[in-house]
Amino acid sequence: MPTAIEAAEVEFTQAAASRALEDNKIEETAATLDAARETVTPLGFFSREEVGKEVASQIDRKRTMAVSLRPGEIVQNDGLYTIEEVAETGASNKALSAIIAKKRPLTEDASS
């Protein structure tokens, strides 16, 4: 028959374990919400530095060529680029992932 002290120790240990599990669950939930928020937030625009000068120059040339066929339209070479424009330059998946990881560090694949 367990003594009162042993019973109290078991109860205390179980309560401490339950609190630790609850604290861990709260931390995991917060991290999951942060990652989910990051994955549904649009990427927006990338700077010339983020996409690299070579890719930025390719996009600028493409924009210039497209506008040259439409007189009166202004070229939007503002130094801001979408991920779609970067992909259209033929950038590799690895390069695209690296660019995205700069904006979304939480969901970056750590195995790569």
- pLDDT, residue 25, reads 85
**Which residue, 88, 86, 89, is CA-closest to 103?**
86
Distance CA 86, CA 46 (A): 9
- pLDDT, residue 108, reads 53
User: Residue 85: how many CB atoms within 10 A of its CB?
Assistant: 20
**Which residue, 33, 51, 49, 39, is CA-closest to 104?**
39
User: What is the per-residue pLDDT across 52-111, written as a single tens digit (0 to 9) for each?
Assistant: 899 999 999 888 888 777 777 777 778 889 888 999 999 888 988 888 888 765 555 545
User: What are the φ and ψ backbone dihedral angles of 85, each rounded to 5 degrees?
Assistant: -65, -40
**Can you tell me the mean pLDDT for 27-34?**
79
For the chain, domain boundaries: 1-41, 43-106
**Can you tell me the mean pLDDT for 10-18?**
88
* Position 112 confidence tier, pLDDT thresholds 50, 70, 90: very low
And the tokens for 44?
A: 């927006």
